[in-house]
């Protein structure tokens, strides 16, 4: 099935309309290099069924939202993420708090000149600006600037992430052009979202471009979101 892109369309809207995922659309249309850039008038191939990346078989609530949605919007304080595990340590970090910080820091970075490769206003600088104050308030150490190869990073299982989780393109992070970091923002209607600071695009919430865009998650902070300390 083909679809003609209309003015104002986005991949996420097209995916939702046809009950598929952004990643499935990108796989079916390899000419698309960036999920945020499509042109009106171009034709898209709509896959016959969703790939394993999207939870398309989710049951719907009375409001039409998928029951496994985990999307967190710091602006509206909507938090549909899973609660901390029963019996977890008191004072677990809430996804909504992390995303509230993300929205605030993204706005400040964009207001003061946008992305700068300076360790504070770049991709991982944005992540640390969000997480470090939260960690310090809990009496914990800041995120490391350089921990390449650390056992604190594990391969991503997208269905087990919590909004606010720290993501990386490599196992560990180092300051340099070969690494990229960001935050997981959750999933809504089968589409995964990230919050990252990426070059000319600035710091913003956006659909995950592809399932392998980020490969690793920072395990200690993920466990804090799970209420494990």
Model confidence pLDDT, tens digit, residues 157-213: 988 899 999 999 999 877 666 789 999 999 887 888 999 998 777 899 989 888 889
How many Å apart are CA 1 and CA 20, to the nearest integer? 13
Q: Are residues 134 and 187 in the same domain?
A: yes
Residue 50 lies in a domain: no
Q: Are residues 158 and 83 in the same domain?
A: yes
Which pair of structure tokens corresponds to residue 130? Answer: 């969000």
Residue 10 belongs to a domain with what CATH number?
3.10.350.10
Q: Are residues 36 and 95 in the same domain?
A: no
Residue 126 lies in a domain: yes
Model confidence pLDDT, tens digit, residues 57-82: 333 444 444 334 455 554 343 444 44
Residue 56 lies in a domain: no
Total structural domains within the chain: 2
Residue 198 lies in a domain: yes
How much is the pLDDT for 89? 53
Q: Are 171 and 149 in contact (CB under 8 A)?
A: yes
Residue 22 lies in a domain: yes
Asked if the model's pLDDT at residue 220 lies above 80, the reply is yes
Residue 63 lies in a domain: no
Upper half-sphere CA count for residue 33 (Cβ side, 13 Å): 0
Q: How far apart are the first and last CA of the chain?
A: 48
Model confidence pLDDT, tens digit, residues 206-217: 898 888 899 999
What does pTM read for this prediction? 0.66
Q: Are residues 19 and 84 in the same domain?
A: no
Q: Are residues 79 and 34 in the same domain?
A: no
Q: Are residues 95 and 38 in the same domain?
A: no
Q: Are residues 36 and 106 in the same domain?
A: no
**In the beta sheet, which residues pair with residue 2?**
45
Range of the domain at 22: 2-45
Q: Are residues 15 and 118 in the same domain?
A: no
Model confidence pLDDT, tens digit, residues 126-160: 999 999 999 999 999 999 888 888 999 999 998 88
Asked if the model's pLDDT at residue 21 lies above 70, the reply is yes
Which pair of structure tokens corresponds to residue 211? Answer: 């399932």
Residue 65 lies in a domain: no
Q: Are residues 200 and 90 in the same domain?
A: yes
Closest CA to 72 of 159, 215, 184: 184
Q: Are residues 121 and 36 in the same domain?
A: no
Which position has the token pair 């995922």?
A: 21
Q: Are residues 145 and 181 in the same domain?
A: yes
Q: Are residues 108 and 206 in the same domain?
A: yes
Quote the percentage of the chain above a pLDDT of 70.
Answer: 79
How many Å apart are CA 180 and CA 188, to the nearest integer? 24
Q: Taking residues 215-227, what's their average pLDDT?
A: 91
What residues contact residue 88 under an 8 Å CB cut-off, 6+ apart? 226, 227, 228, 229
Residue 136 lies in a domain: yes
């Amino acid at each position: 099935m083909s679809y003609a892109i209309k003015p104002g369309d986005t991949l996420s809207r097209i995916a939702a309309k046809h009950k598929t995922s952004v990643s499935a659309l990108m796989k079916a249309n390899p000419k698309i290099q960036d999920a945020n850039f499509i042109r009106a008038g171009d034709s898209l191939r709509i896959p016959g069924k969703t790939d394993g990346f999207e939870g398309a078989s989710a049951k719907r609530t009375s409001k039409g939202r998928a029951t496994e949605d985990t999307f967190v919007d710091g602006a509206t304080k909507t938090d549909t993420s899973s609660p901390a595990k029963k019996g977890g340590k008191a004072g677990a970090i809430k996804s909504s708090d992390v995303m509230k910080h993300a929205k605030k820091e993204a706005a400040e970075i964009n207001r003061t000149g946008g992305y700068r490769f300076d360790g504070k206003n770049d991709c991982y600088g944005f992540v640390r600006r969000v997480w470090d104050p939260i960690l310090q308030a809990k009496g914990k150490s800041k995120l490391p600037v350089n921990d390449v190869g650390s056992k604190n990073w594990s391969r991503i299982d997208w269905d087990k992430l919590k909004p606010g989780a720290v993501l990386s393109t490599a196992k560990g992070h180092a300051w340099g052009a070969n690494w990229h970091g960001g935050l997981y923002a959750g999933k809504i209607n089968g589409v995964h979202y990230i919050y990252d600071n990426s070059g000319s695009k600035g710091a913003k919430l956006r659909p995950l471009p592809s399932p392998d865009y980020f490969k690793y998650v920072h395990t200690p902070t993920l466990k804090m979101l799970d209420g494990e300390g």
